[in-house]
Structure 1
Amino acid sequence: MQEIYTKSQTYSMVEFTKEKLKYWLLDHPSIVSFRWSPTLMWGSTWWFLVSAIFFYIVVGVTLHVILKLCRRQRPVPLGPLPAIHSLSMSLISVTIFFGMFFSAEAEVRDTRWLWQRTRTTPFEWLLCFPLGIRPSGRVFFWSYAFHLSRYLHMLRTFFVVLSERKLSFFRLFNNSIILIMSFLWLEFSQSLQVLAILFSTVVCSVVYGYRFWIQIGLPSKTFKFSGNFLVMLFGCNLACHIGVLLLHYSRGGCNGIGAWVFNSFLNVLILWHFLKSYVDTHCQRKDASSKK
């Protein structure tokens, strides 16, 4: 009897936890009634976006120049801030991933009757939003959460400048472009954003989790670990972009295709800069190994 009671209690706790998670990830009024609005949402105007990017670049470059002028050789002590930032980004990415995943699942379940009319499969919907879709509801709430998380992600640039005394153009460029792309997803209800957010949050949660792991004193980080995950992300994005292009011409159009074209161009620039950095780092490691 005691064993049966224990199992029943455990089952009840699991069900209670599932209901709570479902409420906070799917059914909370702020999630269900979300609507992207330049007048109501924080950071939802073009002026705010441009100002934030300008401020980010100016602060990053200013810190770098000040450290160069001071000729400081030792890193600026930051204490536990980098580790706290990495842990926060990892947990936030995990939350956004599950929120977006279950929200997309709920959207598929609630609109299945409409898709049967148009002969649209769930995977096609993930790649190609129907024309006229509005940026409202659960999926776009988590897209907005992802957009806000990009501002927190930018703080890592300042940590790198203060601790490693270096600032790369690629880091400034990449972070600014990702912020712009996540803004366009909401502004134009762009297709493909669900899969893009799922891929990005998986990579962010793993990479930032690994950074937290090594920042608390465990084995040193390597470029290879983070680089391989980013290569995987770019590969998945490339395959999905091809799918969007095919569906756009075969299904009569995908919503936000103009923003998608612009984002595709930005993705090509990011990929080119990343592959150049990846190859250069790999060659440097190979040369160092040969000399040893």
Structure 2
Amino acid sequence: MSTSPSGSTLGKATAVMKSLNFYLSDHPAIVTFRWSHDLCWGSTWSFLFSSIASYVVVSIFLHLTLAFLLRRGRPVPLGPIPALHSLSMSVISATIFAGLLVSAAAEIKETRWLWRRYKTPLQWLLCFPLGTRPSGRVFFWSYVFYLSRFLHMLRTVLVVLRRRKLVFFQLFYHAISTFMSFLWLEFSQSFQVLAILFTTLAFSVMYGYRFWTSVAARGACLPLVLNCQIALLGCNLVCHVAVLLLHFLTGGCNGIGAWVFNSVLNGAILLLFLNFYVRMYLARRRKRKGVVIDHRCENDNNIARSSVLGAGKEPHSNKVKSN
């Protein structure tokens, strides 16, 4: 008995979806994951502080060394490395987003009977029940996100090599983001599911765009990247307010102490980012005004030149006519 092409295509699509669902949420390594200082790489406080300190020291040392050895403004040729880094970050972020989204849906379906009397799925995403332990699907992808932060740090090194400029905000942001992702796992902090979903979605778009501009040999549109980051920080701010309300209205959220510290760090990042954004906007506006003024001056000079030339030619033309 022969099957129709549409039926075979649908069967293949279903098989692919089942396979993806297995590797994203039902794999034994994902289901049985447990955050432990003995089992997980990079899960100790000493590793966290030493890695962040090494990142800061290496970035500053590289910046000072290049400033001393090379002529100012001369970039270091890196070839396809920045493009490959952007591509890898985009793919990893998209994978974490898809895996966490599927895993969160599976966790809600399997554990809803425990908390459905006093929480909705959205409230569970914002506010973990008290006593939640860092194990299972959701925390596996949180751990993968934590590990991806170290690959994200590499961008600072690439920026220093290419642009010969070390930005304090970028250094601070990468270090604090790595520290916060560690706190999410260590204290089973609430709100981390939505935070990771928002962040990975924004990163997949931003780094995918950076990869495309690198391949297309054209400069990236900085406002697009900045607007994505502003939207990300804005969503995080709204969710932080929701977590605070749920903590007092639903009897408490797990990891609220780490959440308070996380909120302070997010507030500092938001203020620094808004300061950077406003300064960049004002600089671009002044530059545009300068271009307009230059064009006006150029037009005035052209008019002045034409009037002078006209005044010089007029007597000559009169002489010709008189002759």
The TM-score with structure 1 as length reference comes to: 0.97
Query: Could you tell me which residue of structure 2 aligns to residue 291 of structure 1?
Result: 290
Whole-angstrom distance in 2 between the partners of 1:110 and 1:200: 25
Whole-angstrom distance in 1 between the partners of 2:187 and 2:75: 43
Query: Could you tell me which residue of structure 2 aligns to residue 100 of structure 1?
Result: 100
Secondary structure of residue in 1 paired with 2:74: coil
Q: Which amino acid aligns with 1:93?
A: S
Q: Which amino acid aligns with 2:174?
A: N
Whole-angstrom distance in 1 between the partners of 2:100 and 2:59: 31
Query: Could you tell me which residue of structure 1 aligns to residue 249 of structure 2?
Result: 250
Q: Once the two structures are superposed, what CA deviation does each residue of 1:174-220 show, in whole Å capped at 9, x if it has no partner?
A: 00000000000000000000000000001100000000011112542
Query: Could you tell me which residue of structure 2 aligns to residue 144 of structure 1?
Result: 143
Secondary structure of residue in 2 paired with 1:37: coil
Query: Could you tell me which residue of structure 1 aligns to residue 312 of structure 2?
Result: none
Q: Which amino acid aligns with 1:112?
A: R
Secondary structure of residue in 1 paired with 2:4: helix
Superposed displacement of residue 15, structure 1: 1.1
- Superposed, 1:212-291 pairs within 5 Å as 212-291=211-290
Secondary structure of residue in 2 paired with 1:111: helix
Query: Could you tell me which residue of structure 2 aligns to residue 167 of structure 1?
Result: 166
Task: Select between 93-102 and 5-14 the one with higher mean Cα deviation.
Answer: 5-14
Larger radius of gyration: 2
Whole-angstrom distance in 2 between the partners of 1:57 and 1:115: 43
Q: Which amino acid aligns with 1:226?
A: V
Q: Once the two structures are superposed, what CA deviation does each residue of 1:12-42 show, in whole Å capped at 9, x if it has no partner?
A: 2101111110111011111000000011100
Query: Could you tell me which residue of structure 2 aligns to residue 32 of structure 1?
Result: 31
Query: Could you tell me which residue of structure 2 aligns to residue 79 of structure 1?
Result: 79
Task: Select between 247-256 and 211-220 the one with higher mean Cα deviation.
Answer: 211-220
For structure 2, the residue ranges without an aligned partner over 5 or more in a row are 292-323
Whole-angstrom distance in 1 between the partners of 2:240 and 2:50: 30
CA contact (8 A) 2:118 2:250 kept: no
Q: Which amino acid aligns with 2:108?
A: V
Q: Over the residues paired in the alignment, what is the CA RMSD in angstroms?
A: 1.2
Secondary structure of residue in 1 paired with 2:245: helix
Task: Select between 184-193 and 63-72 the one with higher mean Cα deviation.
Answer: 63-72
Whole-angstrom distance in 2 between the partners of 1:246 and 1:190: 15
For structure 1, the residue ranges without an aligned partner over 5 or more in a row are none
Q: Once the two structures are superposed, what CA deviation does each residue of 1:206-245 show, in whole Å capped at 9, x if it has no partner?
A: 0000000111125421221111111111111111111101
Q: Once the two structures are superposed, what CA deviation does each residue of 1:59-78 show, in whole Å capped at 9, x if it has no partner?
A: 10111001110133421111
Q: Which amino acid aligns with 1:26?
A: S
Query: Could you tell me which residue of structure 2 aligns to residue 56 of structure 1?
Result: 55
Whole-angstrom distance in 1 between the partners of 2:60 and 2:112: 50
Task: Give the aligned length.
Answer: 290
- List structure 1 segments (4+ residues) > 3 angstroms apart after TM superposition: none
Q: Once the two structures are superposed, what CA deviation does each residue of 1:255-289 show, in whole Å capped at 9, x if it has no partner?
A: 00000000000001100110000000000000000
Q: Which amino acid aligns with 1:83?
A: A
Query: Could you tell me which residue of structure 2 aligns to residue 158 of structure 1?
Result: 157
- Superposed, 1:176-195 pairs within 5 Å as 176-195=175-194
Query: Could you tell me which residue of structure 2 aligns to residue 199 of structure 1?
Result: 198
Task: Select between 160-169 and 9-18 the one with higher mean Cα deviation.
Answer: 9-18
Query: Could you tell me which residue of structure 2 aligns to residue 10 of structure 1?
Result: 9
Superposed displacement of residue 11, structure 1: 1.1
Q: Which amino acid aligns with 2:250?
A: R
Amino-acid identity (%): 57
Query: Could you tell me which residue of structure 1 aligns to residue 40 of structure 2?
Result: 41
Whole-angstrom distance in 2 between the partners of 1:241 and 1:177: 17
